[in-house]
């Protein structure tokens, strides 16, 4: 997996879980008086099951010596099919442990496939392999699978050491997935109830902590009641940081005025909707940033009692803020700066970034088993930025970028499609496409013409206009793309009733253009993120399932947006 937020979280998860299993300093590095090298030389003179057994013994010695890389190489090089059942179990235990230490989740999943076989094993070994499978699924960006595995294991064992990992996976599930998980036993149902409490009450810290206390009283035997997840146990420490007044920095004139107006409508509508449901919401005070100095705006907001800021919107102003040591008030900027890193304390950055979508496409394509990418992006600054994001994510995980075409959006797609298929360093096994609908609709038929009809296409949200148009979009059949949940309700959440903040969506979506819906949704999520700023700062695994996707702050405070996938069938977005 990628060396990013997910990978770093996976490393921490594995370290915590395996810490109690670490070997002592008195490592036995011999097996029957022989070293691993001796055994490997011996295996070269043997055949069949005898050779495989000897190599397994050598791998076990290497692992006890702490050489997991070499142990995994040796273990994977032997013929498992000739091992007796007890040695197949030894192989699975060795390989899964070494692969977890090396953060190679796919290798762990392959090793733990023995759980699905007829190999008999003691409960302890079965539970160990189940735990490693769940951890690997979490590292492999499979939160639903991880939650199912680990809650089922906890149902068997009651092990509270799994709580933090389970909680992090629950935060990444959509409402439909939570519903599915709730039916998997009493432990899973208790976790889902706790997760729903956090989502419903998460913006009001005191209300949430009171609700958690009641949940604990009603579920005293549940593993999470006996030991709350770390993220929840820290909430008591920030009860006095409740946000009651938010300053909103937006321009009221100039080139960004229309965007700012739509975002403001989203913010205000969400606040009004929450208030109408009987919840206490922060007071919103709007400040015009046009021609204003940021220091003056912060000074005014602070003097007038604001505890947090939404904005600014201008990329230039966000870039100014992110080079500072910190900001005067906890701030959710509505754009991303241009620097490589955000160094300002208490500054979070959130926006509708196509770069996030490109990185997600790279990750999904590699999870689907693709290794050789072709890319089509427009020949402009936007295309260059998105290409850079895709390329970095694709190559850091070992993918090969074999063909790149920067096309003219006003021209026919024919020559660019021909070049991306036949003009690179060999034929790609997937295509990443950044294109608006008019251009995108030309690509699949042209691929058919050049005998590449089976080339999978992974696209950003820009291929979809935002409302079903089966007659116009039939040429996009089988194209996979991401988009915000509010625009693809059936694919994202199993229908509009399960969407995040659906009551607010109903207020906003009447006859809206798709671009306006996205900006309204951005305003909604900005409001929800801003009133959770103390929680975002205090806990390490914060995620919000929002109108614009699953939102989680990265290490430098830049919000990473993960969108649901859809695929065109009969010209309409559906579940992949």
Token digits of residue 557: 């405070």
3-state secondary structure of 336: coil
135 belongs to a structural domain: yes
User: What pLDDT shows up at residue 172?
Assistant: 84
Are 476 and 540 in the same domain?
A: no
Within 8 A by CB and 6+ apart from 146, the residues are 134, 135, 137, 138, 165, 169
Distance CA 60, CA 68 (A): 9
Residue closest to 349 by CA, chosen among 563, 564, 555: 555
Q: CA distances (Å), 433 to each of 6, 269, 488, 567, in order? A: 24, 34, 19, 14
Are 307 and 281 in the same domain?
A: yes
490 belongs to a structural domain: no
Are 176 and 67 in the same domain?
A: yes
Residues in the chain: 576
The model's pTM is: 0.80
Please check whether residue 246 is in contact with residue 236, taking contact to mean a CB–CB distance below 8 angstroms. Answer: no
Token digits of residue 222: 């549940």
Distance CA 420, CA 426 (A): 10
Please report which helix (H) or strand (E) contains residue 552, including its range.
strand 549-553
Side by side, the strands of the sheet bearing 245-250 are: 283-288, 245-250, 308-310, 326-333, 345-349
473 belongs to a structural domain: yes
Please check whether residue 553 is in contact with residue 544, taking contact to mean a CB–CB distance below 8 angstroms. Answer: no
Please check whether residue 561 is in contact with residue 353, taking contact to mean a CB–CB distance below 8 angstroms. Answer: yes
User: What pLDDT shows up at residue 25?
Assistant: 31
Are 258 and 233 in the same domain?
A: no
User: What pLDDT shows up at residue 121?
Assistant: 93
Task: Output DSSP code: residue 157.
Answer: H
Token digits of residue 291: 């021609």
22 belongs to a structural domain: no
**Structural domain for 360, as ranges:** 355-484+562-574
399 belongs to a structural domain: yes
Are 136 and 215 in the same domain?
A: yes
Number of independent structural domains in the chain: 3
Distance CA 17, CA 3 (A): 20
* Domain end point (choices 189, 213, 238): 238
Are 290 and 332 in the same domain?
A: yes
CATH number, position 426: 3.40.50.2300
295 belongs to a structural domain: yes
Maximal C-alpha separation, the chain: 82
User: What pLDDT shows up at residue 34?
Assistant: 83
User: What pLDDT shows up at residue 511?
Assistant: 63
User: What pLDDT shows up at residue 423?
Assistant: 87
User: What pLDDT shows up at residue 27?
Assistant: 36
Q: CA distances (Å), 303 to each of 296, 298, 330, in order? A: 10, 8, 15
In tens digits, the chain (576 residues) has pLDDT values of 333 444 444 544 544 444 444 333 333 344 456 888 989 999 888 899 899 999 999 999 999 999 999 999 999 999 989 999 999 999 999 999 999 999 999 999 999 999 999 899 999 999 999 999 999 999 988 999 999 999 999 999 999 999 999 999 998 888 888 999 999 999 999 999 999 888 887 777 888 888 999 999 999 999 999 999 988 888 877 777 889 999 999 999 999 999 999 999 999 999 999 999 988 899 999 999 999 999 999 999 999 999 999 999 999 999 999 999 999 999 999 999 999 899 999 999 999 999 999 999 999 999 899 999 999 999 999 999 999 999 999 999 899 999 999 999 999 999 999 999 998 899 999 999 999 999 999 999 999 999 999 999 999 999 999 989 999 999 999 999 999 999 998 877 666 666 889 999 999 987 667 889 999 999 999 999 999 998 888 776 788 889 999 999 988 999 999 999 999 999 999 988
């Amino acid at each position: 997996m990628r060396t990013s937020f997910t990978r770093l979280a996976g490393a921490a998860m594995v370290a915590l879980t395996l810490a109690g299993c670490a070997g002592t300093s008195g490592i036995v590095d011999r097996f029957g008086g022989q070293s691993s090298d001796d055994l490997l030389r011996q295996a070269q003179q043997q055949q069949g099951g005898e050779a495989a057994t000897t190599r397994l013994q050598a791998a076990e010695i290497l692992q006890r010596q702490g050489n997991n890389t070499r142990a995994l190489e040796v273990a994977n090089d032997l013929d498992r099919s000739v091992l007796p059942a007890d040695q197949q179990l030894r192989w699975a235990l060795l390989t899964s442990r070494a692969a977890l230490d090396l953060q190679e989740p796919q290798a762990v999943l392959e090793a733990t496939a023995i759980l699905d076989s007829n190999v008999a094993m003691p409960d302890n070994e079965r539970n160990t392999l189940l735990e490693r499978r769940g951890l690997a699924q979490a590292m492999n960006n499979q939160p639903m699978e991880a939650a199912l595995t680990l809650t089922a294991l906890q149902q068997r064992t009651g092990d509270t050491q799994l709580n933090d990992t389970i909680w992090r996976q629950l935060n990444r599930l959509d409402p439909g997935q939570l519903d599915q998980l709730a039916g998997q036993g009493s432990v899973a149902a208790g976790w889902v109830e706790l997760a729903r409490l956090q989502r419903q009450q998460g913006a009001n810290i005191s209300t949430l902590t009171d609700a958690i206390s009641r949940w604990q009283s009603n579920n005293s035997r549940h593993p999470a009641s006996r030991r709350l997840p770390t993220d929840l146990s820290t909430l008591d420490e920030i009860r006095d940081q409740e946000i009651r007044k938010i300053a909103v920095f937006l321009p009221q004139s100039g080139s960004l005025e229309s965007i700012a107006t739509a975002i403001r409508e989203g913010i205000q509508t969400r606040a009004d909707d929450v208030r109408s449901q009987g919840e206490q919401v922060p007071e919103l005070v709007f400040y015009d940033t046009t021609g204003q100095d940021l220091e003056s705006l912060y000074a005014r907001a602070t003097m007038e009692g604001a505890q947090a800021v939404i904005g600014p919107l201008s990329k230039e102003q966000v870039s100014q803020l992110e080079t500072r040591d910190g900001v005067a008030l906890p701030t959710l900027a509505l754009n991303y700066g241009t620097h490589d890193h955000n160094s300002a304390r208490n500054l979070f950055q959130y926006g509708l970034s196509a770069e996030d979508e490109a990185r997600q496409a790279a990750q999904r394509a590699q999870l689907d088993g693709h290794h050789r990418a072709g890319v089509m992006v427009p020949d402009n600054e936007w295309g260059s930025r998105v290409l850079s994001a895709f390329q970095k994510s694709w190559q850091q995980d070992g993918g090969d970028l074999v063909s790149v075409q920067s096309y003219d959006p006003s021209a026919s797609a024919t020559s660019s499609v021909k070049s991306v298929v036949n003009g690179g360093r060999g034929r790609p096994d997937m295509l990443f496409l950044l294109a608006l609908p008019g251009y995108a609709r030309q690509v699949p038929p042209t691929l058919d013409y050049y005998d590449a009809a089976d080339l999978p296409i992974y696209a950003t949200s820009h291929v979809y206009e935002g409302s079903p148009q089966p007659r116009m979009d039939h040429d996009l059949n089988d194209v996979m793309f991401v988009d915000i949940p509010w625009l693809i309700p059936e694919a994202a959440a199993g229908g509009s009733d399960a969407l995040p903040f659906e009551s607010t969506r109903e207020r906003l979506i009447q006859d809206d253009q798709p671009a306006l819906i996205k900006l309204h949704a951005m305003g909604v999520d900005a409001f929800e993120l801003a009133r959770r700023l103390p929680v975002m700062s205090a806990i390490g695994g914060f995620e919000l399932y929002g109108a614009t996707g699953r939102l989680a702050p990265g290490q430098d405070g830049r919000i990473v947006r993960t969108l649901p996938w859809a695929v065109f069938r009969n010209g309409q977005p559906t579940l992949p």
